[in-house]
Chains A and B, each alone.
Chain A
């Protein structure tokens, strides 16, 4: 993984001191809250419902054991002993004191981490495929490009006061595990006929109150033009993005109002003037960054195959966990392990300091010191020998994180909702917990198969409900919480926005409604290999509407 050099070290410590000065001025009353706000947001500091919140960047989701231990330390020292992994490959702490945040940032800097640009109207933490460098279907590792973008966007003098936040995601495999089509810029790595690396460039995707799927504006952008082309896009956005209405300020609205063709023309015109500038990427620099992401040397561990077969036979729970949470690695002797942060009845994405420490130990001992955070609020050990799976599993059982539910109905994404968030209209966490308990039996989950439930407590869609196979959106109606259900959303390479199925449900009726939807699916699928999403795409919403609202809905 990327290691800071002297330049990076100097930069992050200068940035911590710069922020310390801003915090001191704020506490001394020299800096008004409205002027302090964009400055603190650019350093990851929110003001939430109950307290300040610190959002730490985990660039492209990659962490080492040492970094994970520091996160545990921060949870213990400055917070209440736990942290929350988010859908944007960040970690949030909910209870830090403003006066102590510069110290927490200094601690982070000591392990090559920061909270830069995890919030605010700037270019946010760049996200990437959580299986990068390990997945069998990978064309190229997206992380070197995400790292180059991370550096380039850090305290960018032209782009620190954009109309709204700006999110970039990069993926390098056939399967899109970074949801690039619901980002402001989505980059899909590909190779051309000559075997050269480039990007398909998508612009203007996003969720929130106006969900939109990104438009492809460049089929193949050469690698060397990554920064000049991105600069062109962000400059067009900075100059022409709407600033009259916060809800229309994202680039997706600009793309929609300008039209894809005209916007592409503007971007290409800007790019024509930038392509031969200092922003052109020299091949040796790309190679030097890429060298940091070279996969670990993986020793042959062919004995794993036999061991695994034996262990699976001896322990059904282990077999189930391997089946669900271990995915094929590029190297057949290895697997990619998903550590589910969705124990039955738990809070999606939460981990305690002790759990973080234990995961760090496992990563060090069995996983070449690498941990990833997925946008589905789980952790990943990307390189684990099959021969070590049993030991890893035992380690996870000991900290209650061995739930065998990756990709299943209880692997729910949920935003923090009304329990923490100043924006929320409804709770997300208790609902996720109730659904998780209702469908908690492993036999039932296995029968249902792949099914992604995503819950947002408000229209801002942090829980990605628009791209949930089943999406739940909390709304407030006459002082009461109500949940709208959407069906058929997906955030992969065939991105779709879910459709609202009908009127919303009261909190105590939502789980029953989900059960009705699930039972309807089980009744109409062609066979168990047809997952919920495929079945929905085949039959459409009507059978679900009828099941939920009765035959009267058929006329609607």
Chain B
């Protein structure tokens, strides 16, 4: 059972669906389009509020002209050890200036969630039992001291320019 988690808690009635041969978006649901589908659809319509799924081998920079029409970008972790989506997320946030929802889908595990947050991912499609349990208890295995700037807003760490410190919880 996959649930969507954001820092504010689990999300009900999330509309985004990764379509397959068996699963199609129905009613209120909306499909996460592939990069090519998204570009085709955006080029032939004026639709806004679109969603796209970036696969590891995709060039995320191709999204640049369409960013203002996107409501969500999902980046795929086909396996927890395929780390390309960390770079996709960094590029989307830092290079392309994308500000709407950025979701991790695929093999999302609790120990990777803090790293995903730091590269700007703010929504997580989670099915792993331990991850669901820990997120429900709000027990993220994050550490607050960072040795490098990243996407997620943080305070300057004491000492050197490259250090950052997580902001205390509000």
Contact = CB atoms under 8 A, between A and B. Distances in A.
Interface of A: 5-7, 10-11, 14-15, 18, 21-22, 25, 30-31, 35, 38-39, 121, 148, 151-162, 227, 235, 238-239, 243, 273, 277-282, 285, 288-289
Contacts of A15: 143
Interface stretch (B32-40, B41-49, B63-71, B153-161): B153-161
B81 interface: yes
A7 B148 contact: no
Contacts of A280: 161
21 contacts: A7-B157, A11-B143, A14-B144, A22-B111, A30-B130, A35-B80, A38-B80, A38-B81, A148-B160, A154-B147, A157-B114, A158-B86, A159-B86, A160-B115, A161-B112, A162-B83, A227-B148, A238-B83, A238-B87, A243-B84, A273-B95
B145 to A, nearest CB: 4
A288 B82 contact: no
Nearest to B133: A30
A25 B119 contact: no
Interface of B: 56, 80-84, 86-88, 90, 94-95, 109, 111-112, 114-116, 118-119, 130, 141, 143-150, 157-163, 165
Q: Is the interface of A mostly helix, strand, loop or mixed?
A: helix
A195 B112 CA distance: 44
Given A7-B145, A7-B163, A22-B141, A161 B130 contact: no
B146 A155 contact: yes
A555 B146 CA distance: 62
A279 B87 CA distance: 16
A106 to B, nearest CB: 15
A239 B95 CA distance: 15
Contacts of A160: 83, 86, 115
Contacts, number: 112
B111 A11 contact: no
B158 A35 contact: no
Given A18-B143, A152-B148, A161-B83, 12 more contacts: A5-B159, A7-B163, A30-B130, A155-B143, A157-B114, A157-B115, A157-B146, A161-B81, A235-B87, A235-B90, A238-B84, A281-B161
Given A22-B111, A161-B80, A14 B158 contact: no
B115 to A, nearest CB: 4
A227 B150 CA distance: 13
Given A31-B130, A239-B87, A11 B149 contact: no
Nearest to A151: B147
A38 B87 CA distance: 18
A7 B158 contact: yes
Nearest to A6: B158
Nearest to B164: A278
Contacts of B87: 158, 235, 238-239
A10 B146 CA distance: 10
B7 to A, nearest CB: 16
Nearest to A42: B111
A10 B80 CA distance: 27
B152 to A, nearest CB: 8
B78 to A, nearest CB: 10
Contacts of A161: 80-83, 86, 112
Contact of B162 (A31, A121, A151): A151
Contacts of B88: 239
A31 B109 CA distance: 10
B118 A157 contact: yes
A243 B114 CA distance: 23
Contacts of B119: 157-158
B141 A18 contact: yes
Contacts of B145: 7, 10-11, 14
A282 B158 contact: no
Contacts of B112: 161
A328 to B, nearest CB: 34
A155 B56 CA distance: 21
A35 B88 CA distance: 22
B159 A21 contact: no
Contacts of A159: 83, 86
A5 B162 CA distance: 15
B143 A14 contact: yes
A161 B118 CA distance: 14
Contacts of B149: 277-279
A158 B162 contact: no
Contacts of B130: 25, 30-31
Contacts of A14: 143-145
Contacts of B83: 121, 158-162, 238
A285 B143 contact: no
Closest 8 CB pairs of A and B: A161-B83, A157-B118, A14-B143, A278-B149, A11-B145, A157-B115, A151-B147, A158-B86
